[in-house]
Amino acid sequence: MDTKWKSKIGIVTWLVITAYGVSGVLSAWFHGVYDDRFQLVIFWIYTAGAIIALIASFILENRHKLLTKMVPEKWQEFYNRIPLDVAVLLFGVTIIVMMNFSVGASHIYYLDEIFFIRAIIYQWLYTTILLALTLLQGVYFYRRVNDFSAFQEDWKNALFMRLLQALRDAFLNRKVGTQFFLAFVFVFFLGVGTGLVAVDGEILAFVIPSYLFIGIPLFFMVVRRVGFFNRIVRHTNAVAEGSAESDIKIKGKSALAQLATDINKMKHGVRTSQQAQAKSERLKTELITNVSHDLRTPLTSIMTYSDLLKKPDLTDDERRSYIEIVDRKSKRLKVLIDDLFEASKMASGNIELTKEKVDIVQLLQQSLAEYDEMIQESTIQFRVSKPEESIEACVDGQKLWRVFDNLIGNILKYSLPHTRAYIDIGVENHEIKITFKNISEYELSEDIDELFERFKRGDESRHTDGSGLGLAIAKSIIDLHGGALDITVDGDLFKVQITIDIQS
């Protein structure tokens, strides 16, 4: 005979012997000794045979490892997919049913001799099948719980834990959880009551009012909520596809209404983000265009006049003139490149401040003194309002001077001729406030934030000198000091206010 079949026959034989042993021992344990002599003889023979069968079963298992052969490893993975608490429940039910059949074998002692053999065969057959199922589950369950880390994960994924988590989630919003629970209880008892009407007609007097005053309004409320939920789902899909125009209409203060409100906010947030992204792309394109233009202009002049200087028939005056132009354009190119590097360092935060106590009033006066000649030559009248006493703060004087220098230079470049410019400095609530105001010669953009962008100018036609980096650098410097640089535009009135903590 084939070895495989021999093994299977051996396992079945061992299961039958074990089933007989388990059945006999359990019957003896639960039912004890009988008064009738014939039944007593059968009882002792049956019990003695069961004990011998159990001993033989242990010997066979120890020698041939039949239990290991009966429970193959390949089914372990499938068994592990069963939720842990379901596996425990199935295991327990199988044990109880097996014990019930095994103990039931004691009833054969009351049977007539004719039915004795038939009863024994049926009892062994059922007990053997149930014992096999019990042993299979027992071995698989033991292997499963033997790995403690896997057992912990199994327990987390058990149906009971999932149900517990679902109940917690249901009551995250207590109002919704309570409404659902009350509706469930009402529907349950209404269903039970409807069933009891068939038994006791008097219950109908309670069931009909319940349907009219609770059931129908509850049904109407559920239908409305489901409809509202479907509208939210449809609108959410439209938002995801980018085709949503209007907001979800919201009524009431339910959890669904709050959800709809949040989705509306998310939609507006997404739209704002998309607009910001589009603006960023546009500004990036403008930045590349402006950088190319501003760097190419002086570079083109340098190359052109360098070629002219190579001509042998130039007069001394022409040569000196060309050299001056090349020198001026070279310095202009250097300023642009320096500003570009400084703006880049400011943007990346790769810059350190050297702070010390500085008289802000005196620093502003020094900045104005640097432009004294240009102020005298211009048609702009400066009006400076400052306190008599000094205002000291711990700042990086060189960097703050750069801010003042840029703002004063912008006033001279972009102010409408024959107008006044106002500079005011003072202390308010332990903060130094410095204000620059002038009337712009050029029409200003309504988007003030764009003026802080690199290479952005108030003069869009770019007729004036300048890199367009000044305000971006100035704002970065003030931000590094923990202050604020704010721009206000009112028609042609251009106002810059700097706020610095006096303790900074």
Query: Of 83-97, 105-119, 370-384, which gets the smallest average pLDDT?
Result: 105-119
Q: Which residues pair with residue 486 across a beta bridge?
A: 497
Instruction: Report pLDDT for 382.
Output: 93
For residue 498, what are the CA distances in angstroms to 187, 266, 407? Answer: 67, 34, 11
Higher pLDDT, 19 or 434: 434
Q: Does residue 300 have a pLDDT over 80?
A: yes
Q: Which tens digit of pLDDT belongs to each residue from 277-287?
A: 777 677 666 66
Query: Of 85-94, 174-183, 488-497, which gets the smallest average pLDDT?
Result: 174-183
Q: Does residue 493 have a pLDDT over 60?
A: yes
Q: Which one of 109-113, 144-148, 282-286, 307-311 scores highest in mean pLDDT?
A: 307-311
Confidence of residue 64 (pLDDT cuts 50, 70, 90): low
What span, in angstroms and rounded, lies between the C-alpha atoms of 344 and 281? 18
Q: Which tens digit of pLDDT belongs to each residue from 243-282?
A: 666 777 777 777 777 777 777 777 777 777 777 777 767 7
Instruction: Report pLDDT for 313.
Output: 82
Which two tokens mark 171? 């009551």
Within 380-489, residue ranges assigned H as helices are 397-414, 470-480
Which two tokens mark 440? 């712009």
What span, in angstroms and rounded, lies between the C-alpha atoms of 459 and 489? 14
Q: What is the mean pLDDT of the chain?
A: 75
Instruction: Report pLDDT for 455.
Output: 39
Which conformational region is residue 418 in: left (phi greater than 0), alpha (psi within -120 to 50 degrees), or beta? Answer: left
Other beta carbons within 10 Å of 415: 23
Q: Which tens digit of pLDDT belongs to each residue from 14-59?
A: 767 777 777 766 666 655 555 556 556 666 666 677 777 777 777 7
Task: Please give the model's pTM, rounded to 2 decimal places.
Answer: 0.46
At 318, which amino acid appears? E
